[in-house]
Structure formats: structure tokens, C-alpha cells
Chains A and B, each alone.
Chain A
Amino acid sequence: MGSANTNMSLKMPEVDTSVVSRRDDIINRLRQIVPPGPLGEGVIDDPRALRAYECDGLSAYRQLPMVVVLPETTQQVSKILAYCHENGIKVVARGSGTSLSGGALPLADAVMIGLGKFNRVLEMDFDNRCVVTQPGVSNLAISHAVAHRGFYYAPDPSSQIACSIGGNVAENSGGVHCLKYGLTTNNVLGVEMVLMNGEVIRLGGKHLDAGGYDILGVVTGSEGLLGIITEVTVRILRKPETARAALIGFPQVAAAGDCVASIIGEGIIPGGMEMMDRPAIKAAEAFVHAGYPLDVEALLIVELDGPQAEVDYLIGRVQAIAERLGATHFRLSTSDAERENFWAGRKAAFPAVGRLSPDYYCMDGTIPRGRLPEVLTRIAEMSKAYNLGVANVFHAGDGNLHPLILYDANNEGELEKAEAFGSDILKLCVEVGGVLTGEHGVGVEKRDLMPTMFNETDLNQQQRVKCAFDPDGLLNPGKMFPTLHRCAELGRVHVHRGETRFPDLPRF
């Protein structure tokens, strides 16, 4: 979110002054657990050095952490958590700090645990088609580690050069290839994690599915509220033999939407299928000169991957669909370089839009694909009403919409206006049958919007899952849930037969 300064309009949990007053003791104890090592300092307490940790990718919200600790081993993580648990100290975990929803936003009274020193790929097991890695390894580094054998790790969030695999598990990260290859949750086989009380557990492994409750499944995407991941096992896939992309331009957004629906309706699942609207096309083209047509209202990038014979065959069918629906521009990549150039524009869409405006705010809702034309029309109306520009990029295959709201934080009140515009967009997504966040997470950003999608009973049941892991609510509080209820209160059963709607209902 651009370069806006601290604006803590956001209400965070009340600072526990008794913890803050013990800061020196806490730092000393953490230094005993994690002394300086070959990888550098174990504990960071200098305010200037702490500044590097004051925000994540959602930089509108900033807060200096009380202290940062950088463990190197699972045992150290376990000791830190056990100590914090015994002493009622809150904990926030941080991977690479690329979250766009404030998932790693520090708290003034919390220990921040940075996992950057967990930076080794531990095992490449090609026969079982998996990689065991430490959580601080970047998403792309996993693919690089196995590239020599023609393998890769499929989920590819656009921050993949920097974002850590542990962070991917915490956020259940997506990317442009989710439609065909799934999200993080469909590609993680196992984790080692440390619970708030210091207990180390293993979930999953190199096998498929759980032998009991799928705890790994609920840990994935839990945004650092359930435990700290210290090892990850992911499945790897053989790289597709070939990939080709088509640039398809339409004079109306609705026709582009129909094209997406028809491709899927005819049984074709492309590796990637992205859409940009006119403002996004214009910004991207001016920035990277990808060869995008400027006379269209909507541009699709459709990438087909797989065996050569399949790609050639399906490209022909996609072309036929596009022409039938009135595409005015159709261009096929003829080389990998050209295909990558097609993507370069899309992947640079955020910074490209950033050049148009001092600040921009990236939204992340998902909608049923068919509602796209209607949603874009209503976003355009809101854009007029708020008098703020907007450019839309869209993972069209899976309905994940990223409106980029343009604003200038130096103008009084404009950040608040951008936030209000963003909230309206997300409420619209829910209204048409979609969800608040497709891949960026709830964090602090969408926390207070949760009640637009879930009622209190729904939210309480989710919080009870947290109670099973962290009954004192010490892990990453203030994220995901608008109100954290006490577990004792959530555990009470209030139901009495006399209060049911049909107390005298016969027993069927």
C-alpha cells in the first residue's frame, strides 16, 4: 500500500503494560535461548534495527515490535514459545514479511519470531516426488533446487522470489496457476510445528491424507494463529513439456468473461488464465512494452501447458472460441521468450499501476466468474463516487479479482477514502456469492469485514479451533477475528431443549 505513514486507525488488542515493563528481562531470557551464532544476532532490541520489522507488505500499518528473536533450530522455537506461554507473552511469527494483509504486523507487547535463519532445503526426494525444507526458504528457491531434474513446486504467488514457504503455508498462498494445480493447501504434504506451549508436533509426511482429523489442512492458511511451522514437506511436479500463451483482446468485458466461461465449459483447464481491464492494460504496456493491444476493453492471457501435442490441439480450440465470441485481437506466443514477455506485463501490473499514482491499494476478493461484468460495472460506479481511479487485474480462471485503487496518501483523508472504497468492493464480492479474500489472507486488513461473510456462530466455531491450539490467545492476536472471545466463554454450552424453535417437535 504505497508509502503511507503509520495510521493506526486500526484497533489492536490492548497493550499489556506488565509485559512491556518486563522488556529487559524478556530480552535477557531470549538471549539465553538464542545466543548470537554464525548466522548473526539472535535477538534484536535496538529500536533502529527493529524498524526493519515494523510492517509487512501492508505498509499502511506500522508498529515496532517489543523485541525480535531469530532462532535457528526447532528446539529454540520450542523454548521461546514455552517461555512466552509460561509468562503470558504474546508472539507474532514472521517469514519474509511479504504479507499483503498485515498478517505479520507486530504488536507493541509481543515477541516477534523471525524465521529467516531456517533457510535450508533439507531433502529432495524425487522418487517420492517431494521436498522437505525449512520454512524460511523462498517459494522460488524450492523450484530452483529441483529444476536440474525437471521438477518444480507449483503454487507461484507473485512475490515468489521473496516469500517464504512457511509464510505460504500460513497464508495458503495461491498464484496464477491455481486453477490447474491448486493452492498451497493442495500441495503441502506435511509440517513440523511448535504449539504455543512449546510442544513440537508433526502433521502429515510423505504420504497422502491424514490418518485421523486433517489437522494439517486447518493449520494451512491459519495465518500464524495456531502454531509456528519449523519444517515443511511439499509435493513437487514434473515441469510441463511445453507451454504457450495467447493474448486475446475483446471490445467488451462481458465478451472476455464469456470466453473464460466457454473455455472452461468446453472442458479445457488452462495452466493460467488472467484478465486485465483497460486501465491495467494501459499501465502495464507503458511500463514493460509487452505488446498489449491498447484498443480493447479487456485482455486475456490464456496459457496452456503440457505435452506439445496437447498444447497445440488446445490452443486451436481456444482460438476458435475466442473468434466465435468476437475477439478483436489474438496473438500466440511463438517462443518461450515471447510467452514470458506476455506475462511480464501482467506480473508487473502492480508496479505499473504504481507509476500512475503516488499510492495504490491492492484488493483481493473472489467472485463467481460469471458475475464479473456486473462487478466491474459496479466498481466503475464506485470509482466515480469516491473520485479515485481503479485498475483491475483478475485471475479469471478461478474468479480472484485484484482491483488496484489509486490514491495519494499526502492528500488529507484520501487513504481513509481508499480503504472505504476497498471495503465496498469486498462487500460487493460477498454480495454476489464470493469471498473477502482469495489469496492474500484476512490479517488485520479484512479482519473487521469478517462479519459480512460469517455470522457470530460461524466465527465462534472458527475461534474454538484456535482454543484447541492456543487457549490463552497468545499467538498473533488481533489478526483474522474482529473480536477474540475467551476460550472459557466459547466452551460453554448454552443450549437447552426448551429454547429450541420447535421444543415439542415429535422425534420424526
Chain B
Amino acid sequence: MKPTSETDVLDAVVAAVADETRLEIAGNGTKRGWGHEVVASEILDLSGLSGITLYEPSELVLTAKAGTPLRAVTAALDEQHQQLAFEPPDFGPLYGAAPDAGTIGGVVGCNLAGPRRIQTGAARDHLLGFRAVSGRGELFKSGGRVVKNVTGFDLSKLIAGSFGTLAAMTEVTVKVLPQPEKIRTLLIFGAGDADAVKAMSTALQSPYEVSAAAHLPAEQAGRSSVSYVSGSGGSVTAVRVEGPGPSVEARLAGLRQQLSGYGDLEELHSSNSRTLWAELRDVAPFLSGANDMIWRLSVPPMSGAEIIADLSLPLEFRHFYDWGGGLVWLSTPAGKLNAASRLRQAVMETGGHATLVRAPDADKRETDVFQPLSSGGGALTARLKDNFDPRRVLNPGRMYRDL
């Protein structure tokens, strides 16, 4: 089904509720592989709901129908030198989809966030309001079009990252921000994982307003299309500084001083910076083994490298770090599920979570995609689902098998 209006979406869900059928919610389907297989009678394809309905640059706000291509949003923002500051990644290629094909609704539904997450937040932090049809077959709205808003429960947070399991979004309103005038990246060559995490923590504790910090072990660095990175022959730690020209220069000089003890330093200018951070954001350039399973770990920044070291993973496992060490991307050969429980256990001990972002369906049947729910949180999650989608109409089983 491909509705073209909000009313059509409402009618489609109402019909599914009445007929006790199930719907898979999709935009352009670029990230359908994220989550368990959904057993549904039909796909509710929201890509027909497309178009920017409001964009006021001086108010830093944009409203778009949920199926609007992300590239259309980005193009409109580019014209005004603005951006979605949370740097939504393009994960399509991770799942074999065409690049640059995702929708704004998909970005919100998966609560995406790129390297700038540590400074400006994720999609959840930029979603000001939305309209959606719940699994009860009711059209509702939440939030508004202004940043400062505490009127009622903040359902924007709940809907962001709910993977279409609570409601089918029809429209989203997001906060937008100015693009930085200038971007520079400081590279540190040759640091091991543990030292790199220390270097990133030093940079992030400095007053120099670092907007991203990532670390590529030697093999991943070798895959970058930026020659300064791939040509170094060893590991590369990257620290990004953005802002007005004079400020960027001054902060880089300060960072150089603070980080000189960690290895040889090099600077990337705007164009190379953009390329490198887009690669890091999209992940696929570094972890692209077609059949590998890909894990995404969100942990306290100082714990990521420790987890990797303690797991003493076999050589065919690959990884890199973003978010100053707090985000670990890990690829393992398909079928190597014996590492999954050890990994989940190690991550759980830090309070964080591990998501099996990509895996062959056979492997996903054997393990959980999302971090298994603790007793208390699990019951709450089920009750929330019950209160939005009591008949389990929307994306049943996508996040948790029995929901």
C-alpha cells in the first residue's frame, strides 16, 4: 500500500486494526534490514507522503511529510547554509540499498545520529514535534514547532527510535542549525586503541569545542578514500573542529599542543574533512564485508576500548570508534554468534547497549537484534507498546520478537 495522504494512512491502519492484519511500516525501505524480520500481510509504504511543508530558516525550523527524501531536506537546507546538525548517516549501503535514498521519517524512526552526536545530540534531540497514526488507528500529534516546549509528555523522544512499532509517522518537525563556516580535522597517527581513547578524552575535556572524535585501527584507516588517512600505514585518530575561521585556527593550535604527545599530527582541510567524516558517519566504507554481521555498541566513552581488548576477538573481527570512544562499530563473520553473548554481557556491565545492526536472517533468528530488556525496563516497554499498538498491528516483532 502506498498512501499519498495522512487520511489514507489513517484509513489503512484503521482497516488493519479492524481486519486484524499486520503492517510493515517503511519509507524507502533502505534500512529494512535493521531489526528482526517483520511478518506482515502488507507493507505500508510511506514514501508517497513527500514534501517540505514549512521551512523558516530564521526560525531554525523545518516541517516535512514523513516520506520526504532526506536528500530533498538536505538540499533545501544547503541553499540556506543550514543543516541537520545531528549528521544523519546514510546506512542504505550497509544493507545493499542505493546510497542517499533514505527518508526523513526513517532518520527519526531509527533515531539516527552521526559523529556530531557528542556535541549536538541525535535525531531525538532535534525532533520538535510530529503527527502520526497509532496502532489503535488514531491520528495524533505531539510537540510543536518551537525548541522550548514542555507542554505535555515529550512523545517525540518515544517515537524517535521506535522503529515504527508505536505509530506510523506522517509528518515531522525538526530543529535545524547553521552550517559551520569552516571545518578542520586534526589527525593523530599511530596510537593504539587505549591511547587513542585517552587522546580523544583529552580533546573532549579541552575548552576547544571538539565536534567529533573517532579512531580507526590501521586496517580500517587503510580503507578511507582520504589519502592522508589511508596512506599513513597505521592507525588514525581524528578530532574535528568547526566554526568561524579565526576560532577554528585558534582552537586547532590549542589542540595541537595538548595532543602532541600521542603521535605525529596532521591537519585535514574542509574537503578532506567532509569526506572522512561522511565515511565515519555512514560506516559502510570501513566495515563492508558483504556477509559480515555488524554490531553497534553504545557505551561510556572510556569503556569501548576496554571491552574490545577484554573480548580478545579473533583477527577476522574488525572495529572502529566514534563518539570519543563511546560508539564502537564491530564486524564479525556471519555465523560467529558465540561472540554475541559475551559481547552483550560485557556491554551490559557498563550500562550500555549493543545492537546487531546487520546480520543474515538466519543469524537474526538465533539472537536478539536490540539489547535484551532487563526485567523492569522490559515490562515497561511491553506496556508502552500495548498503549500505542494493543493489537500488534505495526511492525510486529521488529524490535522484540514477542512485541
Tell me whether A and B are bound partners: yes
Asked if A202 lies at the interface with its beta carbon under 8 angstroms from chain B, I say yes
Chain B residue nearest to A507 in the complex (CB): B1
Asked if A8 lies at the interface with its beta carbon under 8 angstroms from chain B, I say no
Contact B352–A435 (Cβ < 8 Å): no
Chain A residue nearest to B127 in the complex (CB): A217
B138 to chain A, nearest CB (A): 5
When distances are taken between beta carbons in the complex, the residues of chain A under 8 Å from B118 are 208
Q: How far is the CA of A347 from the CA of B10 in the complex (A)?
A: 48
B137 to chain A, nearest CB (A): 4
Q: Interface size bucket, A side?
A: 35 or more
Chain A residue nearest to B117 in the complex (CB): A208
**Contact among B42, B161, B388 for A210, CB-based, below 8 A:** B161
B214-222, B294-302, B313-321, B358-366: which lies at the interface: B294-302
When distances are taken between beta carbons in the complex, the residues of chain B under 8 Å from A508 are 1-3, 8, 12
Contact A195–B376 (Cβ < 8 Å): yes
**Contact among A201, A205, A399, A496 for B147, CB-based, below 8 A:** A399
B192 to chain A, nearest CB (A): 17
Q: Interface size bucket, B side?
A: 35 or more
Asked if B75 lies at the interface with its beta carbon under 8 angstroms from chain A, I say no
B98-106, B247-255, B261-269, B273-281: which lies at the interface: B247-255
When distances are taken between beta carbons in the complex, the residues of chain B under 8 Å from A493 are 17, 136-137, 390-391
Q: How far is the CA of A261 from the CA of B61 in the complex (A)?
A: 13
Which of the listed residues B150, B355, B384, B387 has the most CB atoms from chain A within 10 Å of its own CB? B150
User: With contacts A210-B161, A269-B178, A502-B7 known, is A239 near B207, CB below 8 A?
Assistant: yes
When distances are taken between beta carbons in the complex, the residues of chain B under 8 Å from A462 are 142, 152-153, 155
Contact B137–A218 (Cβ < 8 Å): no
**Contact among B19, B59, B139, B352 for A497, CB-based, below 8 A:** B19
Chain B residue nearest to A395 in the complex (CB): B148
Contact B148–A174 (Cβ < 8 Å): yes
- Flag A332-371 by CB within 8 Å of B: 1 or 0 each: 0000000000000000000000000000000000111110
**Contact among A207, A220, A499 for B351, CB-based, below 8 A:** A207
Which residues of chain B (51-107) have a CB below 8 Å from chain A?
A: 56-61, 81
Q: How far is the CA of A211 from the CA of B352 in the complex (A)?
A: 8
Q: How far is the CA of A310 from the CA of B207 in the complex (A)?
A: 12
Chain B residue nearest to A433 in the complex (CB): B145
Contact A468–B205 (Cβ < 8 Å): no
Asked if A469 lies at the interface with its beta carbon under 8 angstroms from chain B, I say yes
User: With contacts A205-B300, A495-B14, A508-B1 known, is A461 near B154, CB below 8 A?
Assistant: no
Asked if A450 lies at the interface with its beta carbon under 8 angstroms from chain B, I say yes
User: With contacts A309-B249, A313-B244 known, is A178 near B117, CB below 8 A?
Assistant: no
Contact A306–B247 (Cβ < 8 Å): yes
User: With contacts A128-B300, A207-B353, A497-B19 known, is A222 near B58, CB below 8 A?
Assistant: no
When distances are taken between beta carbons in the complex, the residues of chain A under 8 Å from B371 are 211-212
User: With contacts A368-B146, A493-B137, A500-B11 known, is A208 near B326, CB below 8 A?
Assistant: yes
Chain B residue nearest to A308 in the complex (CB): B250
Asked if B195 lies at the interface with its beta carbon under 8 angstroms from chain A, I say no
Asked if B177 lies at the interface with its beta carbon under 8 angstroms from chain A, I say yes
When distances are taken between beta carbons in the complex, the residues of chain B under 8 Å from A480 are 152-153
Contact B158–A309 (Cβ < 8 Å): no
Asked if B183 lies at the interface with its beta carbon under 8 angstroms from chain A, I say no
A357 to chain B, nearest CB (A): 26
- Flag A170-183 by CB within 8 Å of B: 1 or 0 each: 01101000110011
Asked if B38 lies at the interface with its beta carbon under 8 angstroms from chain A, I say no
When distances are taken between beta carbons in the complex, the residues of chain B under 8 Å from A437 are 149-151
- Flag A399-435 by CB within 8 Å of B: 1 or 0 each: 1100000000000000000000000000000000111
Contact A442–B151 (Cβ < 8 Å): yes
**Contact among A209, A440, A458 for B298, CB-based, below 8 A:** A209
User: With contacts A214-B157, A462-B153 known, is A126 near B205, CB below 8 A?
Assistant: yes
Contact A207–B11 (Cβ < 8 Å): no
Number of residue pairs A-B, CB distance < 8 angstroms: 324
When distances are taken between beta carbons in the complex, the residues of chain A under 8 Å from B148 are 174, 178, 183, 366, 395, 398-400, 438-439
Asked if A238 lies at the interface with its beta carbon under 8 angstroms from chain B, I say yes
Asked if A467 lies at the interface with its beta carbon under 8 angstroms from chain B, I say yes
Contact A217–B154 (Cβ < 8 Å): yes
Asked if A200 lies at the interface with its beta carbon under 8 angstroms from chain B, I say yes
**Contact among A178, A209, A491 for B387, CB-based, below 8 A:** A491
When distances are taken between beta carbons in the complex, the residues of chain B under 8 Å from A466 are 153
Chain A residue nearest to B159 in the complex (CB): A214
B163 to chain A, nearest CB (A): 9
When distances are taken between beta carbons in the complex, the residues of chain B under 8 Å from A212 are 161, 353, 370-371, 373, 377, 381, 399-400
Asked if A385 lies at the interface with its beta carbon under 8 angstroms from chain B, I say no
Contact B154–A220 (Cβ < 8 Å): yes
A123 to chain B, nearest CB (A): 12
**Contact among B1, B121, B380 for A182, CB-based, below 8 A:** B121
Q: How far is the CA of A29 from the CA of B249 in the complex (A)?
A: 65
When distances are taken between beta carbons in the complex, the residues of chain B under 8 Å from A464 are 387-388
When distances are taken between beta carbons in the complex, the residues of chain B under 8 Å from A171 are 150
Chain A residue nearest to B85 in the complex (CB): A269
Chain B residue nearest to A174 in the complex (CB): B148
Contact B151–A435 (Cβ < 8 Å): yes
Asked if A465 lies at the interface with its beta carbon under 8 angstroms from chain B, I say yes
Chain A residue nearest to B60 in the complex (CB): A264
Contact A468–B383 (Cβ < 8 Å): yes
B312 to chain A, nearest CB (A): 22
When distances are taken between beta carbons in the complex, the residues of chain A under 8 Å from B15 are 497, 500, 505, 507
Asked if B37 lies at the interface with its beta carbon under 8 angstroms from chain A, I say no
**Contact among A127, A208, A215, A497 for B377, CB-based, below 8 A:** A215
When distances are taken between beta carbons in the complex, the residues of chain A under 8 Å from B144 are 366, 433-435, 453
Q: How far is the CA of A96 from the CA of B312 in the complex (A)?
A: 49
Asked if A40 lies at the interface with its beta carbon under 8 angstroms from chain B, I say no
Contact B157–A468 (Cβ < 8 Å): no
B residues whose Cβ falls under 8 Å from a Cβ of A: 1-3, 7-8, 10-12, 14-15, 17-19, 42, 56-61, 81, 111, 113, 117-118, 121-122, 124-125, 134, 136-142, 144-158, 160-162, 166, 177-179, 181, 201, 204-209, 243-247, 249-251, 254, 298-302, 323, 326-327, 350-355, 370-371, 373-374, 376-377, 380-381, 383-384, 386-388, 390-391, 399-400
What are 13 A-to-B residue pairs whose CB atoms are below 8 Å? A204-B351, A212-B399, A214-B161, A217-B154, A217-B156, A265-B58, A464-B387, A467-B383, A495-B138, A501-B7, A501-B11, A505-B8, A507-B15
Known: A201-B377, A215-B381, A500-B15. 11 other contacts (CB 8 A): A207-B326, A209-B111, A211-B370, A212-B371, A213-B384, A269-B177, A269-B178, A306-B209, A366-B147, A458-B152, A465-B153
The 10 closest A-B pairs by CB, nearest first: A217-B157, A211-B353, A205-B351, A310-B247, A267-B178, A497-B18, A211-B371, A309-B250, A201-B376, A206-B300
A residues whose Cβ falls under 8 Å from a Cβ of B: 125-129, 150, 171-172, 174, 178-179, 182-183, 185-186, 190, 195, 199-218, 220-222, 238-241, 261-262, 264-269, 306-310, 312-314, 366-370, 395, 398-400, 433-442, 446, 450, 453-454, 457-462, 464-469, 480, 490-491, 493, 495-502, 505, 507-508
